[in-house]
Structure 1
Amino acid sequence: MYEHLNWANQRILETLQSIGDENQDVFRLFSHILLAEKVWITRLQGLDSSMDSSRLPIWSDVDIEVCTELVIQNEESLTTFLTNLANTDLDKLISYTNSKGKEFKNSVRDVLTHIALHGQYHRGQINSRLRAEGIEPVNIDFITFVR
């Protein structure tokens, strides 16, 4: 799932790099995916505790250069995290505070599932907006990835 996530992010990034920054809504959605991934990675690493990741913006107007850096950073961080993850770690609970200051606990497994699904949802929104602008949507289907 995470190899697909990284592949899909890279494909969206390449398309956005080629079209310029005329459609700010598309860039805002893409940066949201990447910023949210960064927040969740921070939480998985145990660096949250209501100070760090809850203060990271998840909706922000960032340019394509920042998105490029986030794609690279998130892929490296997720790869490192998953490489060091044992099966027994999947059911461990992590505590975190969301952007509204509310505390939650979820399993590592549930957070990892959320990260994978959240990005796919918003990449679909990006593709819908690209099509509306007359731009060919990016094929990010999982089956295309595995082929």
Structure 2
Amino acid sequence: MNKDKLFSYHKWATLACLEHVQTIGEEIYQKEGANSFASIEATIAHVIGVEKLWLLRMNGVKKPVFEHFDVAITELAIEAFMLLHAEMELYFASLSEQQWQEVLHYQNMRGDDFSTSREEMLFTVINHASYHRGQITSFLRQFGKEGIPLDYIYYQKQNR
């Protein structure tokens, strides 16, 4: 599948998820529940920090430092993702197909060595975020709220 289309889906799903949570209310965004992270806010902080790590790895940084973003409210989270995604898009547009296939060497946060192409890194970013969007839906259900469909087919239906 086309990398631009996959990233476009990723941006759409991220914003749709955050905007949906925003309509429900900040108290739900910050409310603690049972999941991998304590709250939707903590989940979002993790996801955006990890996306920045992957961008740095794609840029050849072998052991990037986790950046903490101010995502204390949904509006700040939306702005932070929009800025990061714009930065990512600019970087992606500068890459040739050969550069997308180039294997880069880096360490994860535990210090384990990996070798991965930029294309595989992009897939990892999208897959990782999808996993956590599912966790956000789980939080919403715990709090008696409904999630929204964020599967690719819904993106495709809206963007044809």
Q: TM-score, normalised by structure 2?
A: 0.79
Q: Percent same amino acid at aligned positions?
A: 26
Gaps of 5+ in 2: 1-5, 33-38
Runs of 4+ in 1 over 3 A off after TM superposition: none
Residue 131 (structure 2) pairs with residue 126 (structure 1): no
Give CA deviations for 1:16-53 in whole Å, capped at 9, x if unaligned.
Answer: 3232144241111122111111110111122x232xx2
Matched, 1:117 2:127: yes
- 1:108 maps to which residue? 118
Cα deviation, residue 101, structure 1: 2.3
Residue number among 117, 137, 145 corresponding to 1:135 in the alignment: 145
Alignment-derived partner of residue 36 in structure 2: none
Are 1:93 and 1:108, in contact at CA under 8 Å, matched by a contact in 2? Answer: yes
In structure 2, how many angstroms separate the alpha carbons of the residues matched to 1:110 and 1:43? Answer: 12
Work out the number of aligned pairs and report it.
142
Task: Return the alpha-carbon distance in structure 2 between the equivalents of residues 66 and 95 of structure 1.
Answer: 33
The corresponding residue for 2:35 is: none
Given candidates 63, 68, 72, the residue that maps to 2:72 is 63
CA shift for structure 1 position 97: 2.0
Q: 1:49 aligns to what?
A: 62
Deviates more, 1:31-40 or 1:61-70: 61-70
The answer to whether the 8 A contact 1:95-1:103 is kept is yes
**In the TM superposition, what is the alpha-carbon distance from 1:57 to its structure 2 partner?**
5.0
Match for residue 34 of structure 1? 48
The counterpart of 2:102, out of the listed 86, 92, 101, is 92
Q: TM-score, normalised on structure 1?
A: 0.85
